[in-house]
Chains A and B, each alone.
Chain A
Amino acid sequence: MPKISYAQAGTDALIEEMQRDPTTFHLATSAQDELVKEFGADRVRATPIAEGAFTGIAIGAAGSGYRPIINWGMITFSFVAMDQIVNQAAKIHYMFGGQAKFPITFRASVGGGRRVAAQHSQSPYSMFMNLAGLKMILPSTPYDMKGLLKSAIRDDNPVISFESNRLMGVEGDVPEGDYTVPLGVADIKREGSDVTLVALAWLVHEGLAAADTLEKEGVSVEVIDPRSLVPMDEAAIHASVQKTGRLVIADEAGPTAGASAEIITVVTEDRETFAKLKTPPKRVCALHVPIPYSPGLEDHVFPDRDNIVAGIREVLDAG
């Protein structure tokens, strides 16, 4: 199987889906050469820097039979389009009684680690999870990037693809040609029996490294990557926690009202799973601060493999 990068896997997904479906087109504030060459300037357009307008344009085109793919660049810039995302895209299918479909893919990079400070280092997916009417994926490998993005493009709803900028250059095995990864199906990255680690995006990789470390101490960690946040594969998380009785969540976002909080609630609200818990769940998240610039500050804010190891030990020590 060829090894390609996470970023390239995204582009490959786009190219294959745009070849497959003539109703797809692409809008972003810059037009990627590779795409323009293949599909022409009509289907691959550079927009003015007007995120609100081109997000809305996607909605209207989707409601008129097209399947737009939008790249906001960074999730940061999507905030300029908040009305169109929150009041329009998320609600339009519902508000109008399901009359029309709005198949739109929104791509955006998330995460920190690039020394670009607060405005350009964000992982605000839970802000979007809080809205009913949007699906969202969070791939952690090149394989999942291509497979999930294809599913997102084929989905008949607005789907946001949160793409970790720490992973852009990471390479992995990606089969050539068509395959999809369904939305709402978690990936058990590693089986284990002592503790369940639900890790998101970049922290899947840190979590696997942490599991290696702990294995040497005789601790068996089950690592789960939910892969999509909406819909969330709750069944996979329940099954794992029922088996291990312990839960740690690793997320690059801050903890407050985050995906991590949601996952804990999913677990503790379920009687059967709650009954199997041996210790309180634990979150290993970023600190609840805007992301600072200076390397020592930034690294202090984000969790890594060491923090995950420490978090897991804490849970194990608790009983």
Chain B
Amino acid sequence: MTLTREKQIEMLRSMQTIRRFEERASDDYQAGAIYGVVHCYIGEEAVAVGVCAALNRDDQIISTHRGHGHCLAKGADLNRMMAELYGRQTGYCKGKGGSMHIADFSIGMLGANGIVAGGIPIVTGAGLAAQLEGKGRVAVSFFGDGASNAGPFHESINIAATWKLPMLYVCENNLYSAGTIAADTLALSDVAARAAGYGIPGVVVDGNDVMAVYEAAEAAVSRARAGQGPSLIECKTYRWRGHTERPGQEDPRPKEEIEEWRQRDPINRFATNLTDQGLLTEEAWQQMDDEILAAIEDAVKFSEASPFPDPEAAVEDIFAD
């Protein structure tokens, strides 16, 4: 499976955009311009980007509390995303959602979700819609290792397998759920092994290798589009930062472990790979990064210049008219 140079460069750009976006979001959160809670995806970018590279615009995805990466990988607008984090009227959800509830239905991004495993049934419904529609669309559920222990995961996968829904269940196994070590709540070493219990394919991939993720996703997407039903893909990965950006949280993770995973940086790895293949020069990479930083700076300016929603708008959008 070879992707065009352009496509691969786009994937790298997407990964770096996620990273730079979150670095900025974290800074602005510490500075008080972003409220509540922010969960960063840094270190896991290859998963969202690798999977979304195998999708079309009208395919649908659903995300988790750690949702910025999925949004951006599916093509969300930086300005509207940052403005949502800033709580502004121009944000994706007019300031009603914030970091944990960003959605862009126009690009098939059905939302981040503050309830662990809460999105899995919902996106399975998008899979049912895709099947009823019969136009070959697929739906993708992103979720964590922690979510894979929850009822909605098992119930949904069973239904999708039985009805042969065009679905991908993508587990981002970052070895922890908040402060809990995955192995303390999960008797198997691989979440993917659970697929066997539902009669669907389950594969483990290196979640820090964007091309490996892409290839696994591409195979599962082809299968789903061909009417052969869902697949479970487990991406082994790691988050570099704490569970949330809130200062002073307990983190059970050994420093050496974090450092070890930083050495497996999915972005550096992909960039080096592209450079080695002669598809990317050092200068082009630097230039891309500068462009991304400039776009993020613009998004911050856009957000700062945007008004807060009129407080009266709090009573709008409870019901569709």
A50 adjacent to B159 (CB under 8 Å) = yes
Interface size, A (range): 35 or more
> Which residues of the other chain, B, contact A100 by a CB distance below 8 angstroms?
103, 105
The answer to whether the Cβ of B229 comes within 8 Å of any Cβ in the partner chain is no
> Which residues of the other chain, B, contact A56 by a CB distance below 8 angstroms?
118, 120-122, 124-125, 152, 156
Residue-wise interface mask of B (79-115) relative to A, using a CB-CB cutoff of 8 A (1 in contact, 0 not): 0000000000001111111000101111000110111
Contact of B104 among A99, A132, A157 (CB under 8 A): A99
> Which residues of the other chain, A, contact B128 by a CB distance below 8 angstroms?
57, 60-61, 66
Least CB distance, A260 to chain B, in whole angstroms: 24
The answer to whether the Cβ of A59 comes within 8 Å of any Cβ in the partner chain is yes
A98 adjacent to B317 (CB under 8 Å) = yes
Interface centre among B91, B121, B132 (most CB of A within 10 A): B121
The docked-state distance in angstroms from the alpha carbon of A194 to that of B298 is 68
Least CB distance, A92 to chain B, in whole angstroms: 7
The docked-state distance in angstroms from the alpha carbon of A87 to that of B112 is 13
B126 adjacent to A64 (CB under 8 Å) = yes
> Which residues of the other chain, A, contact B122 by a CB distance below 8 angstroms?
56-57, 59-60, 63, 84, 88
The stretch that binds B, out of A40-48, A234-242, A300-308, is: A40-48
The docked-state distance in angstroms from the alpha carbon of A50 to that of B320 is 28
Interface centre among A45, A62, A63 (most CB of B within 10 A): A63
The answer to whether the Cβ of A97 comes within 8 Å of any Cβ in the partner chain is yes
Contact of B96 among A58, A61, A64, A94 (CB under 8 A): A94
The docked-state distance in angstroms from the alpha carbon of A68 to that of B129 is 10
Contact of B118 among A84, A94, A103, A133 (CB under 8 A): A84
The docked-state distance in angstroms from the alpha carbon of A25 to that of B101 is 28
Least CB distance, B277 to chain A, in whole angstroms: 39
Number of interface residues of B (CB under 8 A): 48
A97 adjacent to B97 (CB under 8 Å) = yes
B152 adjacent to A52 (CB under 8 Å) = yes
| Given A48-B159, A52-B152, A92-B111, A64 and B317 contact (CB-CB distance below 8 Å) | no
Interface centre among A59, A100, A157 (most CB of B within 10 A): A59
The docked-state distance in angstroms from the alpha carbon of A30 to that of B158 is 16
The docked-state distance in angstroms from the alpha carbon of A60 to that of B130 is 10
Contact of A42 among B92, B132, B155, B162 (CB under 8 A): B132
B320 adjacent to A84 (CB under 8 Å) = no
The docked-state distance in angstroms from the alpha carbon of A157 to that of B104 is 19
B129 adjacent to A60 (CB under 8 Å) = yes
> Which residues of the other chain, A, contact B130 by a CB distance below 8 angstroms?
64
The docked-state distance in angstroms from the alpha carbon of A58 to that of B103 is 18
The docked-state distance in angstroms from the alpha carbon of A61 to that of B62 is 13
The answer to whether the Cβ of B35 comes within 8 Å of any Cβ in the partner chain is no
Residue-wise interface mask of A (157-199) relative to B, using a CB-CB cutoff of 8 A (1 in contact, 0 not): 1000000000000000000000000000000000000000000
| Given A56-B121, A84-B121, A66 and B132 contact (CB-CB distance below 8 Å) | yes
A45 adjacent to B163 (CB under 8 Å) = yes
> Which residues of the other chain, A, contact B110 by a CB distance below 8 angstroms?
60, 63
> Which residues of the other chain, B, contact A103 by a CB distance below 8 angstroms?
320
Least CB distance, A80 to chain B, in whole angstroms: 9
The docked-state distance in angstroms from the alpha carbon of A55 to that of B118 is 11
The docked-state distance in angstroms from the alpha carbon of A133 to that of B319 is 6
A53 adjacent to B111 (CB under 8 Å) = no
Residue-wise interface mask of A (60-94) relative to B, using a CB-CB cutoff of 8 A (1 in contact, 0 not): 11111110100000000000000110011000111
Interface set, chain B 117-171, CB cutoff 8 A to A? 118, 120-130, 132-133, 139, 151-152, 155-156, 158-159, 162-163
The docked-state distance in angstroms from the alpha carbon of A61 to that of B318 is 19
| Given A45-B163, A133-B318, A64 and B60 contact (CB-CB distance below 8 Å) | yes
A53 adjacent to B155 (CB under 8 Å) = yes
B152 adjacent to A132 (CB under 8 Å) = no
The docked-state distance in angstroms from the alpha carbon of A22 to that of B145 is 38
Q: Across the interface, name the chain A residue whose C-beta is closest to B129.
A: A64
Query: Which A residues fall within an 8 A CB radius of B?
Result: 25, 42-43, 45, 47-48, 50, 52-66, 68, 83-84, 87-88, 92-103, 132-133, 135, 156-157
Task: Using A60-B126, A98-B316 as known contacts, list a sample of 5 further A-B pairs with CB atoms less than 8 Å apart, ordered by residue number in A.
Answer: A57-B128, A61-B132, A64-B126, A95-B111, A99-B93
Query: Which B residues fall within an 8 A CB radius of A?
Result: 60, 62, 91-97, 101, 103-106, 110-111, 113-115, 118, 120-130, 132-133, 139, 151-152, 155-156, 158-159, 162-163, 316-321
28 of the cross-chain contacts (CB-CB < 8 Å) are A25-B132, A48-B159, A50-B158, A52-B121, A52-B151, A53-B152, A57-B121, A57-B122, A57-B128, A59-B122, A59-B125, A60-B139, A62-B125, A63-B105, A65-B133, A84-B122, A87-B115, A93-B319, A93-B320, A95-B97, A96-B93, A96-B97, A96-B105, A97-B97, A98-B317, A99-B105, A102-B320, A133-B318
